[in-house]
Structure 1
Amino acid sequence: MSILCRIDDKHVPLYRVMWVAATPHYCGEEDCLREGSYEVRLEQEESVWAKAPEHEELLAKLESWQGGLGGGDEGRNW
């Protein structure tokens, strides 16, 4: 599995992702270019904006990269 995910024509390393918005951006401004996109916050207060398919792919890759939801912690002594 690759540690890179393509977001907004950029190859972003998964380890740089701090958080991913759960809902799409909406501000109501007529000239907003981010409306309907999901904010992906990276290290050093940078952000990229993902469309819905990119958002779903990123979440799936992050879960797979980290071992899935609730998996892998049983039996560890740390």
Structure 2
Amino acid sequence: AALVDGVASVRERVATGLAVEPRLPATGIDVVAVRVVAIRPEAEVERALRTPAREQIQQEADRATYERRAVAVERE
């Protein structure tokens, strides 16, 4: 869900979680702001997410190669 909803959603959830944590004010800590710089999946998940895009790029490259070969055969 975090990868779909984005950084803003994660930032809101973290801020809410910290705001309701009773131990922070008890120790004198006041959460002023929460900053989430990036959200990244584990390496295996990231590879799996990239696979469809890679396959599409490869199909387009294969199609272009086929078309170039077909044109070369026609010219002979």
- If the TM-score is normalised by the length of the shorter chain, which range does it land in? under 0.3
The structure, 1 or 2, with the larger RCO (C-alpha pairs under 8 Å, 6+ apart) is: 2
Bigger strand fraction: 1
Structure with larger Rg? 2
Q: Calculate the TM-score normalised by the size of structure 1.
A: 0.26
